[in-house]
Amino acid sequence: MPRLADARTIRSTLLCVGLVLAIGFPRTILADTAGIASVIDGDTIEIHGQRARLHGIDAPEGGQTCLDVAGRNWRCGQRAALALQDLIGRRTVTCDERDVDRYGRIVGRCLVGDLDINEWLVAQGLALAYRRYSLDYVAAEDQARGAGRGMWAGTFKPPWKWRRRR
């Protein structure tokens, strides 16, 4: 009888391990997503029907405006999305998946060739380092601020504060 109990225990253990692997493993192995991207907004793209949120940055929302140095409104959210589209064009974008957000979007660092597009947006002053989630792009933000690029040429409300008001 001890052999039968051992066989049942082994079989039960293998079944449990198999279920854990089948259910829990797909989201613990993070993968790369690559392809031609469509721009959703300044910090979100879509590749093969999968939305990807750019890790560590926060761009102004599509309807968000900023003030230039003369105090005139400009559509900084729209400009961020258009600049991202111009940068990407029809080239392949590769995103290394770091997480999945509450909306089911992958969150990752995305590249066009060797260019980190997350960093590029921040360096152009078209997005901010999203310190709540990462410090990866703080140096790029400091450089954009110092050079007065993009949003840093005037005044703006950080996207996370702008969204809170809405």
Catalytically active residues, by annotation: 53, 61, 105
Q: Compute the distance between CA of residue 163 and CA of residue 82 in angstroms, rounded to an integer.
A: 20
- The token duo for 131 is 């310190």
- Strands 92-100, 73-74: pairing is unpaired
Q: Pseudo-torsion of CA 131, 99, 105, 66, nearest 10°? A: 10
Q: Compute the distance between CA of residue 152 and CA of residue 118 in angstroms, rounded to an integer.
A: 17
- The token duo for 26 is 């797909």
